[in-house]
A and B are shown apart, each in its own frame.
Chain A
Amino acid sequence: MSAQPKGAQDAARVATPSGIEVPVVVTPDMARDPGVPGAYPFTRGIFADGYRGRPWTIRQYSGFGSAEESNQRYRFLLEQGQTGLSVALDLPTQCGYDPDHPMARAEVGKVGVSLFSLSEMETLFKGIDLGSISTSFTINGTAAIIYAMYLAAADKQGVPRARLTGTIQNDILKEYVARGTWIFPVRPSMRLIADSILYANAETPRFNAISIAGAHVRDAGCTAVEEMAYTLANGLAYVEELIRRGGDVAKFARRLSFFFYVHMDLFEEACKFRAGRRLWAKLLRGRYGVTDEKALHFRFGVVCGGSSLVAAQPYNNIVRVAIENLAAVLGGAQSIFTCAYDEAFQIPTEFSAELALRTQQIVQHESGVAATVDPLGGSYYVEWLTDRMEEDMRRVMGEIDAYGGVVKAIEDGWLQRRIAVRAKERKDATDRGARVVVGMNRYRHEEAQAQGFGEVFRLDPAIAARVLAKHAEVKRRRDAAQAERALDALEAAAASEKENLMPLLVECCHAYATVGEMVERLKRCWGEFQEPVRL
């Protein structure tokens, strides 16, 4: 591999964290004119008027415990001026287990809310009009089920489906590589994703049925260049699958969206987005002849924080998040989530969550960065770096193609191994001090390490018990025969390979079938993914 990430700040050689050697100065002859925003290939943004026309959506990720607690937190955030909701789900819901499954014990309501059936979705949005908010679900293995449940909840509220806006992550490929909430083997999972996207395009035209995510592979260790390259490779795999299923790329590409991490190198991060946006438009036009402007638009959300946050002197993370927030804005993100400073070691408290929200509001309303479109455009360094990153992204994508494509690379564990090796390199660079983390491996303040971490978030231990009781109650009160019929129909359709499963999942949800029951039926037809463990 030619570009080894170094990040070494020695005098002789300075490189970005992706290993791109940075010149002392970039001169005009090294940079190209990036053109204008809102025009192909969209280097400077997908809209001619940038944030002047539409500010980015401030979308904080939250959700914990039971639906009642999360409902309260959502109402609080909406009152505080948040413009979109982002739902975190607990691991049993994400992995397809009901709260009473042995694998679920110890995890119910822990890292997000438990949505085991429609009853919980109804409670989650009680008093919140689904027609007037945009909701994003970080859900993958069970994304089609949660989307079906959201539709059922909207049906019950009497909200026309066409009015629904929001996103389900629904990106299973990166789950196999990094995030780990896979359930079924790769190929039936791809079918389920195609089913949900094709159905969503018809039923909820304003809803993004997939958010192709690089955030988690980045978190798992890869570089900014690799994050974008792997994500675009996954994106193309979905495009191929949808075309195979008869989808019209000029149509469905309009509803594809992306999701990334942003780390601390301000310019590399901003240029990552500029290069990725341009490359995606070029790939769609070059490979599939897409000319529709909207279909070529690379729309993406960003999360600031995550693995770039450290537990050592945690208040320093507030500064990190602000810089990352700037990078995301300078890169032209459509929605942004800023992590709370304590995210490195706990679920954010109400205080830290509000501080994260205020950070974005300060950037949006006080900093002036949103006043003109792509204020970095035309900077010699930025245009030079954007070009270099695009080149490197193409090279990495070429390596995946050479291996035999992303699905094969995942089934074999090749991509997973590559990322693990990268993670080890990053850890070694941090241990050596080549990658500087202030307060941790440089300027460490031992006394401050021992100090408190501010308010501590404590989950009510009774929550899991309450979720279990509600689960039993729902199963007792529902029409058992109706649930059984809906599940039987789902299983039959899953076996046939012809039918789109979405209407059947919506029926199951309406009948208060549980997530665990639906997943169990699908497992009977498809089996489970066998993780290739290659070190």
Chain B
Amino acid sequence: MSTVAAGPLAGKRILVAKPGLDGHDAGAKVIALALRDAGAEVIYTGLRKSPEFIVRVALDEDVAAVGLSILSGSHQALSREVLEGLRAAGAGDVPVFVGGSIPPQDRAALLDAGVKGVFTNDTPLEHMIEELARALA
């Protein structure tokens, strides 16, 4: 509710995005609320956004990080498209995090592709915030 200026992510602008057609947004909203509680300025895209749209918003809003929430099993393709889009636009240094329903065996491939971190529903929010704070320090 309140826009806290303090916290481990104070002053950071973070995009939380839902690529593809997956409609499960509880996780994305929980993350958005947690990031805001940690002091970040959060931009949430809403559902069903194309990777192109997400890249454009990331650039227009000059965000410090992008979080993708995917529970449809399409995390590999969609994450890659966002990563490539950012690179092509010269914003390859913007860290991309992925959360959602990610089978453990898919984690390594996502990290190899350039994803900075992978979170699932059993990741405590505190750990996620710490990892983000480290990455964005």
Q: Which residues of A contact B (CB under 8 A)?
A: 91-92, 94-95, 97, 102-107, 110-111, 175, 178-181, 219-221, 307, 310-312, 344-347, 419-421, 423-424, 427-428, 431, 440, 453, 456, 459, 531, 533, 535
Question: Please, how many angstroms separate the alpha-carbon atoms of A96 and B77 in the complex?
Answer: 21
Kindly state the separation between the CA atoms of A456 and B124 in the bound complex, as whole angstroms.
Answer: 26
| Chain A residues in 8 Å Cβ range of B125 | 427-428, 431
Given A91-B20, A110-B73, the answer on whether A431 and B26 have CB atoms closer than 8 Å is no
Whole-angstrom distance between the alpha carbons of A94 and B21 in the complex? 9
Q: Which residue of B lies closest to A453 (CB)?
A: B104
Q: Is the CB of B101 within 8 A of A345?
A: yes
Q: Let me know if B12 is at the binding interface, CB within 8 A.
A: no
Contact between chains at B32 and A535 (CB < 8 Å): yes
Within the complex, which residue of A104, A180, A311 is in contact with B120, where a contact is CB–CB below 8 Å? Answer: A311
Are B33 and A420 neighbours in the complex by a CB distance under 8 Å? yes
Complex partner residue of A535 from B23, B26, B42, B73, CB under 8 angstroms: B42
Contacts between chains A and B (CB distance < 8 A), count? 109
B87 on the A face (CB < 8 A): no
Q: List residues of chain A with CB within 8 A of the CB of B72.
A: 91, 107, 110-111
Enumerate chain B residues within 8 angstroms of A104, measured Cβ to Cβ.
Answer: 21
Q: In angstroms, how far is the closest chain A Cβ from the Cβ of B17?
A: 12
B30 near A180 with CB under 8 A, answer: no
9 A-B residue pairings within 8 Å (CB atoms): A105-B77, A106-B20, A178-B23, A178-B25, A221-B26, A310-B121, A440-B122, A453-B105, A456-B103
Whether the Cβ atoms of A107 and B21 lie closer than 8 Å is: yes
CB distance from A386 to the nearest CB of B (A): 28
Which residue in A97, A307, A424 is a CB contact (below 8 Å) of B21? A97
Are A345 and B34 neighbours in the complex by a CB distance under 8 Å?
no
Residues on the A chain within 8 Å of B34, using CB: 424, 427
Contact (A427, B30) CB under 8 Å given A107-B72, A345-B103: yes
Residues A420 and B30 in contact in the complex (CB < 8 Å), given A106-B74, A111-B73: yes
Q: Are B24 and A180 in contact (CB-based, < 8 A)?
A: yes
Most buried by B among A102, A431, A453: A431
How far in angstroms is the closest Cβ of chain B from A532? 9
Given contacts A106-B78, A312-B122, contact A345 B102 (CB under 8 A): yes
Closest approach, in angstroms, between the C-beta of B80 and any C-beta of chain A?
9
In the bound assembly, the distance between CA atoms of A409 and B18 in angstroms comes to 23
Contact flags B30-51 to A (C-beta < 8 A → 1, else 0):
1011101000001011111010
Complex CA gap A91/B18 in Å reads 14
B84 lies within 8 A of chain A by Cβ:
no
Chain B residues lying within 8 Å of A310, measured Cβ to Cβ, are 121-122
Residues of B within 8 A of A219 (CB): 24, 26
Closest Cβ of chain A to B2, distance in Å, is 12
Beta-carbon nearest neighbor of A91 in chain B? B21
Q: Assess A179 versus B24: contact at CB under 8 Å? Given A424-B34, A456-B105.
A: yes
Tell me which residues across on chain B come within 8 A of A220, comparing CB atoms.
24-26
Is B56 close to A, CB under 8 A?
no
User: Does B126 sit within 8 A of A, measured CB to CB?
Assistant: yes
Contacting residues, chain A, for B45 (C-beta < 8 A): 533
- B119 → A minimal CB distance (Å): 12
**Minimum CB–CB distance for A440 against chain B, Å:** 5
**Central interface residue in B30, B34, B72, B77, by most chain A CB within 10 Å:** B30
A533 to chain B minimum Cβ distance, whole angstroms, is 5
Identity of the chain A residue whose Cβ is nearest the Cβ of B102 in the assembled complex: A345
Q: Which chain A positions have C-beta within 8 A of B73?
A: 110-111, 346-347, 459
Q: How far is the CB of A115 from chain B (nearest CB, A)?
A: 15
B29 within 8 A of A: yes
Residue of B22, B36, B47, B122 ringed by the most chain A CB atoms within 10 A? B122
- With known contacts A106-B77, A535-B33, A535-B42, A345–B21 Cβ distance under 8 A: no
**From A105, A312, A453, residue with most partner B Cβ within 10 Å:** A105
B30 cross-chain contacts in A, Cβ below 8 A: 221, 420, 423-424, 427
Decide yes or no: A311 and B104 within 8 Å by CB, A103-B21, A106-B74, A107-B20 being known contacts.
yes
Q: Which of A95, A427, A428 has the most CB of B within 10 A?
A: A427
Smallest Cβ-Cβ distance to A105: which chain B residue: B77
How many whole Å from A364's CB to the nearest CB in chain B?
30
Task: List B contacts of A421 (CB < 8 A).
Answer: 33
A107, B78: Cα distance in complex, Å? 10
